[in-house]
Each structure stands twice: as structure tokens, then as C-alpha cells.
Amino acid sequence: MNNFIFENKTKVYFGKGCVQEYLGCLTKKYQTIMLAYGGGSIKKNGIYDEIMTILTAQNKKVVEFSGIMSNPTYAKVMQGAELVRKEHVDMILAVGGGSVMDCCKAISLAARYEGDVWNDFWTHKGVIDFDILPLGVIVTVTGTGSEMNGGAVITNEELKIKTGRDYPACNPMFALLDPAYTFTVSKRQMASGGFDILSHIMETYFGEPNENNVSDDLSVALMKNVIKNLKIAIEDPINYNARSNLMWDATMAENRIIKLGKQTDFEVHQMEHQLGAYTNCNHGEGLAVLHPTYYRHIYQYGLSKFKQFAIEVWQISEEGKSEEQIALEGIDALEKFIHEIGLPSSLKQLGLQEDIDLKKIADSCNIIPTSYKPMTHEEIYEIFKECWK
Ligand code: NZQ
Ligand code: ZN
């Protein structure tokens, strides 16, 4: 394994009733709380009322910041930062999925910084040598794992760039994870978020070193758990055990633990982010379209790992087959799973318009040097065309 330093400052409270039990205590020392959320699902499913009851019982001043969109924009971040300053907010409570959590991490930084936030923290990796605004999160949809990392993926609409940075200083102070809060998530978003989890684990697993290591062994266990429970959760939306497993799988996939001692290959995320910057497509759905084709481009450069993936994750039999055949059958099994859970399998199905400039999008993608086969912009363009179907 490669050398590493590990830190994660987020304290996690997991399980049914955790918001009722702990939120009051966790917000005790703050007076003005910005309650940030998305398009309103929390008002329909009762989560908003539950939280407001707790906060108002403590006489908190609550400043609402709603309408955080999927693929949150830099403009929305700056709007939130302005509201924080105007209302003298001393803590942000983000209630939602990756979009709300990411937007709020960026707000907590932007509200305490006078310079050019985009340039100094998203264009380049910056240095946070000041205290950012305290942030706590309540997760309502499983997928990104944003609750236990410092990552914030923000879309700059003017520049047409969607990009993420992971700053340990931006890790939430606390994360409340109640799997029952995700019962009302639609099948479509459940499949999308579930595939995002799988994608995070795969993109971590397919990276050096290839010899046996505990991070990869954990990844195999997590991938099998996601596959099993995602099928159950889609069939039976109120299956608490399946939702619990997926919720913790998502956190484990992105809390840095399975990345320790490893290189990773987040090239598909880079491609999806730029597709998102140009089309605002759904994150997990975009990943589902791209993965099998990308893997068919790189598997020969990491053949033993792709073979292991086929055998250990998809139970492909080895008998009478070459290493290459086994590896390819693993990728086929992944593609079949994507189909089974109802995710799109082409850019056309993803809703992209015929006249979209795929070359321009391909040219705007970041290249990950630690891929088994680092891409060129030409090859990314080839992959996009193959994914058009
Ligand atoms: O906005 P509302 O009305 O709340 O509806 C949301 C939204 O439409 C809905 N939803 C959330 N909780 C619900 C619910 N519907 C019913 N019942 C509930 N309990 O779900 C929809 C999707 O929410 P969103 O937050 O956009 O999805 P997700 O969690 O997949 O986040 C996607 C964003 O996170 C970024 C993505 O790129 C994308 O911008 N990512 C963040 C990462 C990180 N910080 O570590 C890593 C990821 O790879 C990813 O890039
Ligand atoms: Zn993702």
C-alpha cells in the first residue's frame, strides 16, 4: 500500500430517529441558523416540519435558503453567502442530498472569504487558513457521500465548468443519517444515487496498487452490498434494512477510507461533470451511460484487476475462459445491472439533443493521469460517440 495520512472530522449520527434525538443538542450553541434545502421535497414528506419543531422549540432564529438545484451553481453559492452575511448567520444546516450539501459547503467557505472564491478555491486547489462557517448536514437522499467529506462539486454556468474540490476543512461538523428519511425518494433517483455509490467504489478500486490490499477488499464488500441492496430498495421503497445499507455504503465510499494507500481513477466522473456542465444531466444517470464503454477502453491495461472484479463482484465463472473473456464478462454484467435497475444506457436516452457539440465537451474534460490508460481528449470524444447509440 502507498503511504497515507488519514483524517475525518465529521461526527456521524446514524439511524431511525437520530434527528429527533440529537439535532437540538447539536445546534444548542448557535443562535441564527440558515436552514438550506432544495426544491421542496422536505416540505412534502414532513422532514421540514420535524426540523422546524426542534429549532423553534429552542427559540432559534431560522433563516431559510431554499431552491438549491441539482448540480448547484456558483451563482447560488454566492447568493447563499450574501444571505449569511446579511442575516449574521452563525451556522448552516443543510438538509438534502449532494447538491444541497455541496452548495452549503461552498457557502460556508465563501461567506468567510473576501477574495475571488471561484478562482482561489475551485479553479485551483486553494489553502483554507481561516475558520469557515460551521456546517451540519441532514441527508435525505443517498448517493454522493458528501456528508462525510469536504468535497463540493459546483457548476460555473458562465464558464461551463462543473468541478469539485475536497477540502478537509469543509467536512461537516456533524451528519445526521436517518435511512427512513429516504423512503420518499423516487425510484429514478434511488437508482441514480445507488449507481453513483457503485461508481465511486469502482473508480477507487480500479487504481494501483493491484496487489492485495485492505482498501480493495473493503471495496469488493461494499460493491456487493450496493448491488444486492439497490435491487431490494428499488423494488420495495420502504425496506429499512436495504436503505440503511445503501446509506452507509454511500458514506463509506466517499469518506476517504477505501482510498487509503491507493491511486484512484475518477475519469468517468470528470467526463460526467462536463456533460453536466453543458446539459445539466442527472449525475448518476450520466455515470451509468459512460462506465461500460470507458471500461471497454481501458480493461486491457488493468486486466488482472478487471478479471478479479468479474469473479469477486459478479461471480463470473473462470472455467475454460481466458483472462480477457472473464474481464469482459464482468463489464457485461455491470451493463446488465445498469439496465435491470432502469438507468439509461446511451447519451440519447440521457436526453441529450442531436445537435450537442460532443467534441467541445470532450475537449473540456480533465484528464486523470492515474487511470490504467490515461485518456486523450480524442479518446474521450470517441467514447462519447460510442455512447450516443
Ligand atoms: O430538491 P428536492 O425537492 O429536495 O428534491 C431532490 C432532488 O430533486 C430529491 N430528493 C432529495 N431527498 C428526497 C428527495 N425526493 C424525495 N424524498 C426525499 N427524501 O432528489 C433529487 C436529487 O437530489 P440531489 O441532491 O441533486 O442528488 P444527489 O444527492 O445525487 O447530488 C448530486 C450532486 O452531487 C454532486 C453531483 O455532481 C451533483 O452535483 N456530487 C458530489 C460529491 C461529493 N460532494 O462528494 C461526489 C459525487 O460524485 C457528485 O459529483
Ligand atoms: Zn459521483
Q: Give the global pTM.
A: 0.98
Mutate to test the pocket of ligand 1, among 73, 99, 366 (most ligand atoms within 8 A of CB): 99
Residue 210 scores a pLDDT above 90:
no
What is the set of domains in the chain, with CATH numbers?
A: 11-182 (3.40.50.1970), 188-386 (1.20.1090.10)
Among candidates 110, 128, 125, which has minimal Cα distance to 74? 110
Q: Which residue has the cell 478562482?
A: 119
The total number of residues shown for the chain amounts to 389
**What distance in Å separates the CA atoms of residue 45 and residue 121, rounded to the nearest whole number?**
35
**What distance in Å separates the CA atoms of residue 9 and residue 105, rounded to the nearest whole number?**
14
pLDDT for residue 2 = 86
**What distance in Å separates the CA atoms of residue 170 and residue 146, rounded to the nearest whole number?**
10
Which atom of ligand 1 sits closest to the CA of residue 69?
A: 1
Question: Which residue has the CA at smallest separation from atom 26 of ligand 1?
Answer: 70
Residue 279 scores a pLDDT above 90:
yes
- Exposed e or buried b per residue across 30-67, where buried means at least 16 C-beta atoms within 10 angstroms of its C-beta: beebbbbbbeebbeebebbebbeebbeeeebeebebee
DSSP string, 302-362: GHHHHHHHHHHHH----TT--HHHHHHHHHHHHHHHHHHTT---STTTTT--TT--HHHHH
Eight-state DSSP code of residue 122: I
pLDDT, mean over the chain = 97
Instruction: Give the tens place of pLDDT for each residue, 238-274.
Output: 999 999 999 999 999 999 999 999 999 999 999 999 9
Average pLDDT over residues 199-204: 98
Among candidates 10, 199, 172, 25, which has minimal Cα distance to 107? 172
Give the ligand with the smallest distance to the CA of 198.
Answer: 2
Q: Which residue has the cell 462543473?
A: 162
**What distance in Å separates the CA atoms of residue 145 and residue 73, rounded to the nearest whole number?**
19
Which atom of ligand 1 sits closest to the CA of residue 149?
A: 45
Grid cell in block for residue 33:
441558523
Alpha helices in the chain (DSSP H): 18-26, 41-44, 47-57, 74-87, 98-110, 117, 187-205, 214-235, 240-254, 267-279, 283-298, 303-314, 323-340, 358-363, 377-388
H/E run at residue 34: strand 32-36
Q: Which residue has the cell 455504503?
A: 249
Eight-state DSSP code of residue 236: -
**What distance in Å separates the CA atoms of residue 82 and residue 79, rounded to the nearest whole number?**
5
- Ligand 1 centroid distance, CA of 363 (Å): 27
pLDDT for residue 371 = 97
Mutate to test the pocket of ligand 1, among 35, 76, 146 (most ligand atoms within 8 A of CB): 146
Instruction: Give the tens place of pLDDT for each residue, 294-312.
Output: 999 999 999 999 999 999 9
Grid cell in block for residue 310:
468479474
Instruction: Give the tens place of pLDDT for each residue, 43-70.
Output: 999 999 999 999 999 999 999 999 999 9
Residue 32 scores a pLDDT above 90:
yes
